[in-house]
Structure 1
Amino acid sequence: MPVISAFMERYPEIQLDLDFTDRMVDVIDEGFDVVIRGSELKDSRLMSRPLGPYRSCLVASPVYLQNRGIPAKPADLLTHSCLHYRWQNSGKLYQWPFKKQQAIQAGESLPVTMVCSNVEALIYLAQAGRGIACVPDFAVKDSLADGRLDKVLTNSLIGGSTFHVVWPSSRQMAPKVRAFVDFAVENFSKGLVS
């Protein structure tokens, strides 16, 4: 949101129509001018520029960890309250990305204390001491810095991805799209964890 706000300040004449969703939109068929994606790009009809990396992290409030203990390995999560994210487009739970050698054993699954399709709700409940959540690092950067949340099992997760700004390659880029793409490339990474 800080990037959108700053863009609106610099280009007040450009009207924005924002759609916040985690579903994979069809940029061309649904008529989007530009999309910010946090997943791999597979559509050859699209152009893209990278905006910056992000990773998943496991977080909980200091009070929760004081009361329930700090997990030392992923299997310890089996006795914790786990707050899960549900993908809107598939209805499936986001699978916490453990390293293969540290994964939960086959046949075991993490407790499902709560499920929702909103990262902000997960963060709020984690801050309120309701459990451990797996969320993008950029979304909890401030909460980690000011002590409302602590990371756990930092060496147990793999992967991450890169945000991209994406637009249809078949169209000539409108000046407003060019302005947004250039602005996003210049400013988006400031909100990410370096």
Structure 2
Amino acid sequence: MESFSAIPVFVAVVECGSFSLASEQLGVTKSAVSKRISQLEAKLGVQLLHRTTRKLSLTEAGERYFDYARNALTLANEGEDAISELQDKPRGRLRVNAPMAFGRLHIAPLIPDFLREHPQIEIDMMMDDKVVDLVGGSFDIAIRIGKLPDSSLIARRLAPCHSVLCASPAYLQRWGTPKKPAQLVSHNCLYYSYFQGGTEWRFNGPEGLESLVPRGNYRVNNSEALLEALLAGLGICQMPTFIVGPAIADGRLVALLPEYRLPQHAIYAMLPGRKHIPAKIRVFLDCLLTHFDETLPYWDGH
């Protein structure tokens, strides 16, 4: 029976590629993970992993065992999902991944009421502007913004994601208001490092599609840091309205180039493809779908 309990540990080590990352995913120490793998190898009488200072790799026996172990773990998880689906009260740990700014501004405020309504659920939320592997990171649900790659994940649209070009009144008073995208070359354009649209800003206007590569003295991987720079009058930036909507509504920022449309995206809840959706995931997804508007989200009310 000890070998069965080591299967999730072994699968996590192989999928993560290291003992340390597997320990973070499983919530145990690195030494505990190493010990479980050693015990499994001793029980089976074979070496499953080649260990070097730089990386781990499967032995021939490890490759063969991993296929069976992963299938066994999948079946066990599906069994748990099937049972969870029948539970009257959702329970268990729910792992959520969300972009930093959207998660802090629009997901985190929902958590207290959600947990009061579902006290037997424990939420483990990781906010990160980098796109993480939903399955490899063992997340139950993730928030994604932008164009979705083809995958086996289940996507539920939550809301549109509109973007605007904006700057503060103080910046525009000092440097002037651009009327066309081409005039942005003479402005300080701030830039989001993880922008999925590539290095160009694209505009669809009266004369068709126009694009330029923004130039400026500030590039950062966090949208809220860009918002602070905008409010301080540092430059012009392309920003999602779920961040700058309130500042535009109260006049702290000004939306620019109204005749030019920026590419539109959407905000999605992503779930791993599975036969049964556990109750803890289903009620959290219902919470998101109830809170957000697929047509006009509350941050665009202005």
Scaled to the shorter chain, the TM-score interval is: 0.7 to 0.9
**TM-score, with structure 2 as normaliser:** 0.57
1:66 is aligned to 173
Which of 270, 283, 288 lines up with 1:166 in the alignment?
270
> How many correspondences in the alignment?
189
**TM-score, with structure 1 as normaliser:** 0.87
Distance 1:170 1:85 in 2: 34
**Cα gap change, 1:93 to 1:118, in 2 (>3 Å):** farther
Structure 2 counterpart of 1:59, which letter?
C
2:292 is aligned to 188
Structure 2 counterpart of 1:143, which letter?
A
Distance 1:5 1:85 in 2: 24
Preserved contact between residue 87 and residue 94 of structure 1 (Cα < 8 Å) = no
* Residue 130 of structure 2 corresponds to residue 30 of structure 1: no
Distance 2:224 2:137 in 1: 26
Q: Secondary structure of 1:179's match?
A: helix
Preserved contact between residue 126 and residue 132 of structure 1 (Cα < 8 Å) = yes
Deviates more, 1:9-18 or 1:26-35: 9-18
**Cα gap change, 1:168 to 1:104, in 2 (>3 Å):** closer
Deviates more, 1:92-101 or 1:127-136: 92-101
Which of 149, 160, 169 lines up with 1:42 in the alignment?
149
Q: In the TM superposition, what whole-angstrom CA distance separates every residue of 1:104-127 from its partner, at most 9, and x where no partner exists?
A: 46xxx4322210001001111011
Distance 1:49 1:135 in 2: 23
1:18 is displaced (CA, Å) by: 1.6
Distance 2:249 2:299 in 1: 13
Deviates more, 1:3-12 or 1:56-65: 3-12
* Larger gyration radius, structure 1 or structure 2: 2
2:56 is aligned to none
Distance 2:140 2:249 in 1: 35
Unaligned runs of 5+ residues in structure 2 are 1-104
* Residue 262 of structure 2 corresponds to residue 144 of structure 1: no
Unaligned runs of 5+ residues in structure 1 are none
Instruction: Spell out the pairing of 1:118-133 with structure 2 (5 A cutoff).
Output: 118-133=222-237
**Cα gap change, 1:193 to 1:72, in 2 (>3 Å):** same
Q: Secondary structure of 1:58's match?
A: strand
Which of 104, 107, 111 lines up with 2:215 in the alignment?
111
